Structure 1
Amino acid sequence: MAGYTAHAQLLTAGSCSDQINNFPPLPKFIPMRPCFYQNFEDDIPAEHRNLVRRIYHLWIFYCLSLAVNLIACLAWWIAGGSGVNFGFAILWLVMFSPCGYVCWFRPAYKAFRSDSSFNFMAFFFVCGVQFVLSVIQAIGISGWGACGWMAAVSFFSVNVGAAVVMLFPAVMFTVSAVVTALALIRVHRLYRGAGGSFQKAQDEWHNGTWKSPPGHEERYTGTTLPQYPTVPSYPTGGQWP
C-alpha cells in the first residue's frame, strides 16, 4: 500500500502540469516534434517500473540488432551475396524499429500505466508476432534480408570474414527472441495472477474505455483514486523474467 500511496502522490504532482510529448527526443533544428509522452517515474508504479524499462530496453536492443544486420547484409553483398538481402535489411530497419515501439512497447507501457486489459492483450498478440519474427531472423533464410545462423554458417565456405560479421546479427536475433519470450511469460504471469482475462479486454472494447484511458492530468485528483483503475494491482515478487 505504501507503494500505491507514493505513486498516487506522484500522479497528484503530475496533474498540476500539462503533458508534453517528449519521445523520441529530437534536436531543436529538426522541424518535427515528439509524438509520445513517456515518463517511467510518473506513469508506472514502482513495483513494475523495472519490468517496463526492460521491455523498453528490449525494443532498443532489437533496433540495434536490425542496424547490425544491415551492416552484415552489406558485407554479405560485397563478398558475393545477393543485394536483395541488403535491400530487405534496409526495409526491416526502417519499418520494424518504429512499428516495434508503437505496436508492442507502447501497449505494454499503457497497460501498466492504466491497468488496461485491452492493451495487455494487444501486447501479448503483437509481441508474440515479434517473437516469431525474431526466430525467423535468427534462423537466417537467404533472400529474406536477415543474417541468421543458416546464412552465416553456409557463407564460411565463400568468405570467412563476411561470415564472421554475419554471425553478430545471428547472435543478437537469438538473444532478442529469447528475451522476448521471457518478457511475454513474465507479463502474462503478472496479468493472470491479478485476475486478468480476455473478457476484460472485450469489455473495455465494448465500453470504449480503451480509447481514452485516464490522461496524465486526470488520473488522480482530490483524495481518492478514480473509478478507472490507475495503479495495477499485479502481484509483486519474483525476478525478471
Structure 2
Amino acid sequence: MAMNPFVVDDGDQSNPFASTDETRINPWGGGGGGGGGNNSGSTPQLAGGGSRYGPSAGKTATPPPATPSPAAARQSTATNNAASSSSSSRYKTATTTTAPSGPESNSGGAPLSREMELQRREADVAQREARLKDRERAVGTHDVPNWPKFKPMIYHDIEKEIPLRGRWLVKRVYMAWILAVIVYLVNCIAAFSLLVTNASSGGVTFGISLLILLVGTPVSFVFWYRPLYNGVKGDSSSSFFFFWFNYGAHLGVAALLAVGIPGGVILTLAQFKNNLPSAIICMISSALLIFEVFYGSWQIKSASVYFRSRGMSAEQAKTEAVTGFASSKAGRDIAGAAVKSAVANEVRRT
C-alpha cells in the first residue's frame, strides 16, 4: 500500500522538514526546552511563543504600528495642509492661464469669438451708415463745385442730377441762358460801336449795356435758370413759379432792348445814315433780342406743360413756399420775435 506523504505518522513524531544539523540553533526559539537550544524532535517556536506550524504558519510576524507623538502628528498635518494648498494654487493658476474666458469658453472657442466680433463690427458700420444717410437728408449732399469751369463755385451736372423725364426741358432752358449771355455781349458791342461813331447818347447806352452784361449774366443764372433746374430736380412747384416770374421779367426787358434801347431797331435804322458797320452790328443785336423773346416764350410754354404733367399745382407751391420760409433762418427769427411779442403782451395784461 502506498504511503501518503502528506499524512504524518503518529508513530513518527519527527518533523520531516526539520534541519538535520544537530548543532544549529533555532533562531526563533525562546532559548528553553532541552538544554543547548537543539530543536530536533521539538516543535519550532516563533518569537512570542507561537508555534511555527500553528494558524500563523508561513506568515512573517509584523510588529504593531508605532503610535506617533502629538507633536509629530501636528507637524505631519501642517505639512499635508501646506502641500494641499500649494497644489490647489497651482491648479487655479493653470486654470486661469489656460481656460478661455467669455465667449471663447464655448465649444466654438476662438472661431466663435471672431464671428461675434465681426457681427459687432458689421452692426457698428450699419449704424454709422444710417447716421450718415440721416445727416445727408438733413443737410443735403455736398458735391465738389464744377461750374463755371474757369472758377468753380457751384455744382452743376444735368446728366447726373436731373431725372430723364425732365432733362430735355432743363437743357433747353440752359441753352436759353447761354443765348441770353450772347445777346448781352453782342448788345454791349453794338453800344460800343455807337460810342465810337459819336452816335447820340452813345456813352449812356454803352454804360447801360455794360452793366447789363456784368450784372445780368449771374442774376439770370441764379434767378430763373437755377430755379427751373431745382424744380425739375426735386419736383418743386414753388421753384417753377419762381422761374416763370423771373424769366418773364427777363423776356420783357429783352423785348424793350429789341425795340429801341441800345442795339434796338430804332437806333439801328438811325445808324444806317451815320455808320454802316455800326448799323450792321446793331441789326444783329436786335435780331438776337427778338429771337431770344420768341425762344423764351416757347420755353415758358414747355415748362407749363411739364408742370401739369407732373401733377403739381399752385396750392402745392404755396405750401412749399410757406414751409420753406418757416424753416429758413429769417422765418425762424420772425417767428421767434412774434412769440416773444405775444408773451410780453400776455405778461402786461396779467
Larger radius of gyration: 2
* Alignment coverage as a number of residue pairs: 188
Find the aligned partners of 1:72 and 1:64 in 2 and give their Cα distance.
12
State the partner residue of 1:204: 320
State the partner residue of 1:221: none
1:210–1:96 CA distance, 2 compared to 1 (3 A): farther
Residue 44, structure 1, aligned to residue 162, structure 2? yes
TM-score by length of 1: 0.73
CA deviation vs aligned residue, 1:112-153 (integer Å, no higher than 9, x gap): 000001101100110111111111111123xxxx21111111
1:118–1:210 CA distance, 2 compared to 1 (3 A): farther
Which of 74, 86, 89 in structure 1 is aligned with 2:192?
A: 74
Residue 23, structure 1, aligned to residue 147, structure 2? yes
Which of 231, 242, 248 in structure 2 is aligned with 1:122?
A: 242
For structure 2, list consecutive stretches of 5 or more residues without a partner in the other structure. Answer: 1-136, 329-350
- Counterpart amino acid of 1:175? F
Structure number with the bigger relative contact order (C-alpha 8 A, sep ≥ 6) is: 1
Find the aligned partners of 1:70 and 1:208 in 2 and give their Cα distance.
38
1:209–1:63 CA distance, 2 compared to 1 (3 A): same
Which of 228, 232, 236 in structure 2 is aligned with 1:112?
A: 232
Find the aligned partners of 1:18 and 1:65 in 2 and give their Cα distance.
33
Q: 1:210 Cα deviation (Å)?
A: 9.7
State the partner residue of 1:92: 212
RMSD: 2.1
Find the aligned partners of 1:110 and 1:210 in 2 and give their Cα distance.
19
State the partner residue of 2:270: 154
Asked if the contact 1:153/1:163 (under 8 Å) is kept, the reply is yes
TM-score by length of 2: 0.51
Find the aligned partners of 2:256 and 2:270 in 1 and give their Cα distance.
16
Q: 1:209 Cα deviation (Å)?
A: 8.1
1:38–1:157 CA distance, 2 compared to 1 (3 A): same
Find the aligned partners of 1:188 and 1:169 in 2 and give their Cα distance.
29
Residue 164, structure 1, aligned to residue 164, structure 2? no
Same amino acid, percent of matched pairs? 27
- Counterpart amino acid of 1:21? P
Q: 1:101 Cα deviation (Å)?
A: 0.3
Q: 1:211 Cα deviation (Å)?
A: 6.9
- Counterpart amino acid of 1:139? V
Find the aligned partners of 1:42 and 1:78 in 2 and give their Cα distance.
47
Residue 174, structure 1, aligned to residue 290, structure 2? yes
CA deviation vs aligned residue, 1:167-197 (integer Å, no higher than 9, x gap): 1111111111111110001101221233322
Q: 1:18 Cα deviation (Å)?
A: 4.7
1:135–1:211 CA distance, 2 compared to 1 (3 A): farther
- Counterpart amino acid of 1:22? N
Find the aligned partners of 2:270 and 2:148 in 1 and give their Cα distance.
39
